[in-house]
Amino acid sequence: MNADAKKSLVLNGSAIVFVALAGAFLLDLWGRPVATVPIVPVAPDFTNTATVRLSAAELVRTGGDASGLDCYVCHEKGKTPVIHFGTNNLVILPKEHEDLVMRHGRNDRNDNCYNCHDADNLDMLKTRDGHKSKITESSRLCGSCHGPTYRDWEVGIHGRTSGFWDRQRGAMVRQDCTSCHDPHSPAFPAMKPGPRPNQLHPEKDVAENGKETH
Amino acid sequence: MSDHNCNCGGNGSRHCAPGNGKMDRRSFLRKSTVLASGIAAIAASLAPLRELTDLGSVDEFLQKHYKELSPAEMEKALERIRKEVERQYGIRPHLRDLKPMDGVEFVYCLNLTRCIGCRKCVHACVAENNQSRSPEIQYIRVLKMPNGTFDMEKGDHNYAPETVPEKGFFYMPVQCHQCKNPPCVKVCPVDATWQEADGITVIDYDWCIGCRYCEAACPYFARRFNFATPSVPKEQINSDMAYLGNRPRHKGVMEKCHFCIQRTREGKYPACLEVCPTGARKFGNILDPDSEVSYILKNKRVFVLKEEVGTLPRFFYYFDV
């Protein structure tokens, strides 16, 4: 092999290597970073600032259908409905009120409609000491038994607040007791939790007793 | 006379280059092919540089530290960021630099009796503060803790039952505690994070070098790092932005909870508080004796997390007794 042929071999060879390298770089044969786990967008429910239920006061304020609050559409004025109790001393709900869940108070000690409703005027609520209030102004009635909670609610410690912390710039919006608590079954309802933090290596996490460690 | 002095024995310029240094056609073509393929290979090896779209502008590179910016320079920086946001997300943001208010020091109180662990605060925070959706960045971590202990090792942040709360557990959301003695600020080598007069520890995202010392120093796992270019869907971007708050971040910088600076410095409650369904979260000005947080600190038995490390948090937990 003479010098000329050798030179031509080297030059051709390097040209081929360079072209191959260029192709390899462009096609990225060394691979990209491992694809991350696709993350499902969070449902809008979890960023919604609405209260868990609609209170009677809010229903009236927003101009909703308040016909359900008018007791005398069905009941007869001046005639006190009689409450029937079962053998276990629990109220037997008439079928018109079957949608109610009666679970106010532990051991069912508050299982009597007239503990809160005014027997003489069903459109009103009545505390044990005789103070009457509208159904849309129930918080004071709740406070007649739940004193410490009512005190906290009055100063803004119990229950939801929204709007402005700086009162000079805007109002702090408060919610009624019944915006969060069903008066007939006041324990705060259990909720579906939002999605947990996304795990970068799900299969590894499962291997470690189903629990991520970092 | 001879105008070539090669010794190849050939007849003049037909075979080798003439004496003035010119090469012949064949050798020129061959050498240029090698050169061209070599250049192509180098160019191809630099192909990943095409993906470097997040480099930032010259203006950003030359921008001074937040505390050294004059009002005119700040306005210039804000305009640059507005344009960047407009280019990237297609909306003109309401971006401004909000200063601390006089006579205000923010404090957060969280009622652990009320928290049910629904994680709504986590996701409302992500939406409000334009955190990256993928890879995922969240400022708030909710720990599920067994009743009767504060051993953080027993906390679980991966709980996913059908409904919460679960019997026998309480839930403890943890986010930036805005410490009065913040270890993250002490370790920052470039002063990219500092404590403001209203108690919020902020980050200048344009000054941060991404060394992650602050992440290591924080005892509450409050700081997050943008390992990759943050991605926020265009239709989900929150256009209400503050310079030290929720403006979009670049890859390679730290971020963390800043008590929703864009809301709280305008008198509003933070997003996590607004969304909390139980009202477990309380926020306000501790220097105002009539605020909710003042009432809580006066009347409830509050405690701070990891009191022994001496960080003096402005984030208080309490139980209703």
In this prediction, residues A201-206 reach a mean pLDDT of 54
Residues forming a β-bridge with B201: B195
Q: How many Cα atoms sit within 13 Å of A203 on the Cβ side?
A: 2
- Is the pLDDT score of B274 beyond 90? yes
Q: What are the residue ranges of helices labelled H in A28-102?
A: 56-61
The token pair at A43 is 């449902």
Question: Which B-chain residues 38-97 have CB contacts (< 8 A) with chain A?
Answer: 38, 40-41, 43-45, 47
Q: Which of B114, B272, B121 is CA-nearest to residue A187? A: B114
Task: Give the minimum alpha-carbon distance from A73 to chain B in angstroms, rounded to a whole number.
Answer: 34
| Dist CA A176 CA A191 (whole Å) | 20
Task: Judge whether residue B166 has pLDDT over 70.
Answer: yes
Say what the pLDDT of residue B137 is: 93
The whole-angstrom separation of Cα B216 and Cα B317 is 23
Position B9 confidence tier, pLDDT thresholds 50, 70, 90: very low
Task: Indicate which of A32, A37, A47, A158 best probes the interface with B, i.e. most B CBs within 10 Å of its own CB.
Answer: A47
**Residue B263 in domain:** yes
Show which of residues 183-202 on chain B sit within 8 Å of chain A, judged by CB atoms.
Answer: none
pLDDT of residue B219: 96
C-alpha to C-alpha distance for A166 and A12, rounded to whole angstroms = 78
The model's pLDDT over B292-317, given as tens digits with 9 standing for 90+, comes to 999 999 999 999 999 999 999 999 99
- CB contacts, 8 Å: B161 with chain A: 193
At A213, the pLDDT band (50, 70, 90 cuts) reads: very low
Which residues touch B57 (CB under 8 Å, ≥6 apart)? B80, B84
**Quick one: pLDDT band at residue A209, thresholds 50, 70, 90?**
very low
Q: What is the mean pLDDT of residues A177-198?
A: 93
pLDDT tens per residue, range B186-220? 999 999 999 999 999 999 999 999 999 999 999 99
- Find out whether B301 and B317 touch, Cβ atoms under 8 Å: no
Tokens, residue A53: 């239920």
Q: What's the pLDDT at A143?
A: 93
Distance from CA of A108 to the nearest CA of B (A): 21
Within chain B, strands assigned E span 94-96, 106-111, 141-146, 169-174, 193-195, 201-203, 223-225, 240-242, 254-256, 281-285, 302-303, 315-318
Look at residue B310 in the predicted model and tell me its pLDDT.
95
Provide the pLDDT confidence category of residue A201 given band limits of 50, 70 and 90.
low
Kindly list the distances between the CA atom of residue B199 and the CA atoms of A175, B155, B194, in Å, as whole numbers in the listed order. 29, 28, 10
Chain A nearest-CA distance from B79, in A, is: 27
Residue of A28, A190, A196 with shortest CB distance to B163: A190
Q: Which residue of A has its CA nearest to B143?
A: A196
Ranked by mean pLDDT, the top range of A51-60, A117-126, A134-143, B196-205 is B196-205
Average pLDDT value for residue range A124-141:
90
Contacts A161 to B, Cβ<8 Å: 269, 273, 279, 282, 292
The structural domain count of chain B equals 1
Contact B117 A193 (CB under 8 A): yes
| C-beta atoms of B158 and A8 within 8 A | no
Confidence of residue B2 (pLDDT cuts 50, 70, 90): very low
Mean pLDDT in chain B? 90
Q: Crossing angle for the helix pair A3-27 and B25-45, nearest 10 degrees?
A: 30
Nearest by CB to A160, which of B161, B279, B291?
B279
**Alpha-carbon gap, residue B149 to B142, rounded angstroms:** 16
| Inter-chain touch B34–A14, beta carbons under 8 Å | yes
CATH of the domain at B210: 3.30.70.20
B78 within a domain of the structure (yes/no): no
- Residue in A51, A156, A194 closest to B120 by CB: A194
Q: Which pLDDT does position B53 carry in this prediction?
A: 64
Six-digit token string for B65: 């530290």
Residue B117 resides in a domain: yes
Range of the structural domain that residue B142 is part of: 106-318
Q: Do A165 and B117 touch (CB under 8 A)?
A: no
Among the listed ranges A26-30, A81-85, B8-12, which one has the minimum average pLDDT value? B8-12
H or E segment and range at residue B42: helix B25-45
Inside any domain, residue B259: yes
Q: Decide if B282 and A12 are in contact by the 8 Å CB cutoff.
A: no
Look at A192 and B117 and tell me if their CB atoms are within 8 Å: no
**Over 70: is that where the pLDDT of B17 sits?**
no
Distance from CA of A161 to the nearest CA of B (A): 7
Provide the pLDDT for residue A12.
87
Question: Closest approach of chain B CAs to the CA of A39, in angstroms?
Answer: 6
CA angle B6, B12, B17 (to 5 degrees): 55
Question: Among residues of chain B, what percentage have pLDDT more than 90?
Answer: 78
Per-residue pLDDT band for A91 (boundaries 50, 70, 90) equals confident
Residue B10's pLDDT is what? 46
Tell me which chain B residues have a C-beta less than 8 angstroms from the C-beta of A170.
267-268
Identify all chain A residues contacting B283, using CB atoms and an 8 Å cutoff.
165
What are residue A73's phi and psi, to 5 degrees?
A: -70, -40
Band the pLDDT of A3: cuts 50, 70, 90: confident
Residue A107 banded pLDDT, cuts 50, 70, 90: low
User: Residue B302: inside a domain, yes or no?
Assistant: yes
pLDDT of res. B242:
96
Using a CB–CB cutoff of 8 Å, tell me whether B251 touches chain A.
no
8 A C-beta contact, residue A198 and residue A37: yes
Whether B277 and A52 lie within 8 Å, measured CB to CB:
yes
Burial readout A116-146 (b: 16 or more C-beta within 10 A, e: otherwise):
bbbeeebebbbbeeeeebebbebbebbbbeb
Winning range, highest mean pLDDT, from A45-49, A53-57, B40-44, B106-110: B106-110
Average pLDDT, chain A: 85
The alpha carbon of residue B310 is apart from the nearest alpha carbon of chain A, in Å, by 24
Q: How many CB atoms lie within 10 A of CB B280?
A: 24
Q: Domain for residue B297, yes or no?
A: yes
Mean of the pLDDT values across residues B97-103? 96
Task: Report yes or no on B124 lying in a domain.
Answer: yes
Share of chain A above pLDDT 90, in %: 37
| Separation between Cα atoms, residue A213 and residue B156, nearest integer Å | 9
What does the pLDDT look like over B228-251, one tens digit per residue? Answer: 889 999 999 999 999 999 999 999
pLDDT number for residue A36: 61
Cα A105 to Cα A108: distance, rounded to the nearest angstrom: 6
Q: What is the rounded distance in angstroms from the CA atom of residue B77 to the CA atom of residue B85?
A: 12
Give me the residue from B41, B101, B160 closest to A196, CB to CB. Answer: B160
pLDDT of residue B1: 43
Instruction: Report the range of poorest mean pLDDT among A67-81, B86-100, B224-238, B282-296.
Output: A67-81
Instruction: Inspect the interface and report whether the beta carbons of B278 and A47 lie closer than 8 Å.
Output: no
The alpha-carbon radius of gyration of chain A (Å, integer) is 34
B:91-120 residues touching chain A, CB 8 A cutoff = 101, 111, 116-120
Please answer whether residues B65 and B204 qualify as being in contact, where contact means their C-beta atoms are separated by less than 8 angstroms. Answer: yes
User: Tokens at residue B29, please?
Assistant: 């073509």
Which of A80-89, B129-138, B158-167, B312-321 comes out lowest in average pLDDT? Answer: A80-89
| pLDDT at B173 exceeding the cut of 80 | yes
Nearest-angstrom CA–CA distance, B117 and B95: 33
ipTM of the complex: 0.80
Using H for helix, E for strand and C for coil, what is the string for B169-198?
EEEEEECCCCCCCCHHHHHCCCCCEEECCC
Across residues B268-295, what is the average pLDDT? 96
Top pLDDT among A68 and B171 is at B171
Sign, CA torsion A55/A56/A62/A68: positive
